[in-house]
Amino acid sequence: MDEVNDFYVTLPSNSSLSFFPKNTQAAFRTKLARPIILSGAWEVGLSEIFVPRTWFNIGNHNNKYSITYEETKIVEKDYVEHEIRVKIEEGTSDKEIIDTINQSIEEKCGHFVSFALDQKNIIVYIAPNYELHLTAVDAPRLLTMLHLPREDRIIKNSESFVFRKPSKTNKDNLLKIIARNLKRHYIIRATRFNHKYTDLDNMHHEIFQHINFNLMQTGIGGAADFIFDFTENKVQITVQKNVELEFRLLYAPLLMRMLSMTKDVILTGKTLHVLQKVERPPLNEHFRVSITDKPTVPVKEKKAENLELEV
């Protein structure tokens, strides 16, 4: 059988009145002749609304209607809080307790915080820029499990605790995970030349090629881009979102002179610099790239589309 990538389903409003007697033309449910079994991920959308009827009193002046729907967007924030409920049932084994906690965390924020048993110890793994918050009011059994006193505790780094099986409780334990900004820093060399370099005619162009190559070799290619315009004798530096380039005279005096920079500066966005030619390459000079990883959260937004019927 040929693979089906898309298909249409027609849903008449009056086809299932015996099953759904409260159906109207504006709001109805339809019973299919047979189930539709889909494997994998599919998208569904409304392609057409057809009203098989004519109203003589409806013209171009009153044939408008609107459709309201929700759209999910991924939004960056300075920090994101995840509240996670965990219930410890009676007769639960040690492994089941850990699996339940990890599954609850994974459903909310992934594998950035996890628990693992190691003989008589329990290890809490915390990814960089994540925090685990346990309070005496909301998470008493979890504090007991980590052999901690009944007082508020914030865990910011991976840590090992003596495991103590918590007693059962009918009340959910509430733990909070906070994801904050993580700033990563990279040192980028200005050039790959050595002291024997003498091709001064091509030096300026090659320097910016070297910088772009060094960014790529560091694993952050595309975070910034240096483009030398021969005709205008200018250098355009494009810095991506959440990225900063820090130039300091102490570490890159010759490179900064080439870019007409007279003082320490942090570049963001897109900037244009007049090229000042120098007589020797900026050996052993460097600048710093800072990349901020911001946590993201899905946000639902209501939207409306205004449409017109063809009459």
pLDDT band at 303 (very low <50, low <70, confident <90, very high): confident
pLDDT in tens, 258-300: 999 999 999 999 999 999 988 888 888 999 999 988 888 788 8
Using CA atoms, how far apart are residues 88 and 106, in angstroms rounded to an integer?
17
pLDDT attached to residue 298: 82
Contact call for residues 274 and 260 (beta carbons, < 8 A): yes
Using CA atoms, how far apart are residues 248 and 256, in angstroms rounded to an integer?
8
SS (H, E, C) 72-102: EEEEECCEEEEEEEECCCCCCCHHHHHHHHH
**Which residue type, as a one-letter code, is found at position 236?**
Q
- What one-character-per-residue DSSP string does 126-187 give? E-TTEEEEE-TTT-HHHHHHTT--SS-EEE-S-EEEE--PPPP-SSPEEEEEEEE-EEEEEE
Using CA atoms, how far apart are residues 204 and 181, in angstroms rounded to an integer?
36
Using CA atoms, how far apart are residues 165 and 98, in angstroms rounded to an integer?
10
pLDDT in tens, 176-196: 999 888 788 999 988 876 666
Mean of pLDDT over the chain: 85
Using CA atoms, how far apart are residues 146 and 166, in angstroms rounded to an integer?
9
pLDDT attached to residue 33: 81
pTM of the model: 0.58
pLDDT band at 168 (very low <50, low <70, confident <90, very high): low
CA distance to 46, 48, 51, 66, per residue, from 11 (Å): 11, 11, 12, 20
- Among candidates 34, 41, 32, which has minimal Cα distance to 11? 32
pLDDT attached to residue 196: 67
Using CA atoms, how far apart are residues 257 and 288, in angstroms rounded to an integer?
17
**CA end-to-end distance (rounded Å), the chain:** 41
Using CA atoms, how far apart are residues 148 and 140, in angstroms rounded to an integer?
9
pLDDT attached to residue 1: 43
Using CA atoms, how far apart are residues 76 and 187, in angstroms rounded to an integer?
26
